[in-house]
């Protein structure tokens, strides 16, 4: 699957949480880097940004808020969505 498709499906789960905290979707960015293809989705809340970065080749999702970065499993656990995690 293309990274954008995977990211869009993941954002459907996160959208209610982000909206509840005043974040609105801003944009997608697709590109290439040293670790292959990536897709980023960015949400904004006034001057705050929340960035979701999906890297296809290494199968990694990273969430970034300000200078903090966390992995996908940790984030879903903290949201109480552990049951939504895809089995590997």
Exposure of 83 by Cβ count < 10 A (0-12 exposed, 13-18 middle, 19+ buried)?
Answer: exposed
| Residue matched to tokens 């049951």 | 83
Report pLDDT digits (tens) over 5-59. Answer: 777 888 888 889 889 989 999 988 888 877 778 888 889 998 788 888 877 666 5
- Strand partners of residue 61: 54
**Cα-to-chain-centroid distance, residue 79:** 13
Q: Provide the CB-side half-sphere exposure for 3 (13 A, CA).
A: 21
Task: Kindly report the pTM of this predicted structure.
Answer: 0.65
60 pLDDT band, cuts 50/70/90, is: low
């Amino acid at each position: 699957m293309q990274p954008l498709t995977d990211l869009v499906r993941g954002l459907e789960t996160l959208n209610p949480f982000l909206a509840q905290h005043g974040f609105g979707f801003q944009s997608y960015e697709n590109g290439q880097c040293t670790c292959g293809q990536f897709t980023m989705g960015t949400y904004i809340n006034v001057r705050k940004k929340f960035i979701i970065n999906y890297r296809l080749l290494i199968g990694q999702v990273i969430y970034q808020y300000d200078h903090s970065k966390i992995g996908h499993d940790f984030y879903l656990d903290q949201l109480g969505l552990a049951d939504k995690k895809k089995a590997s």
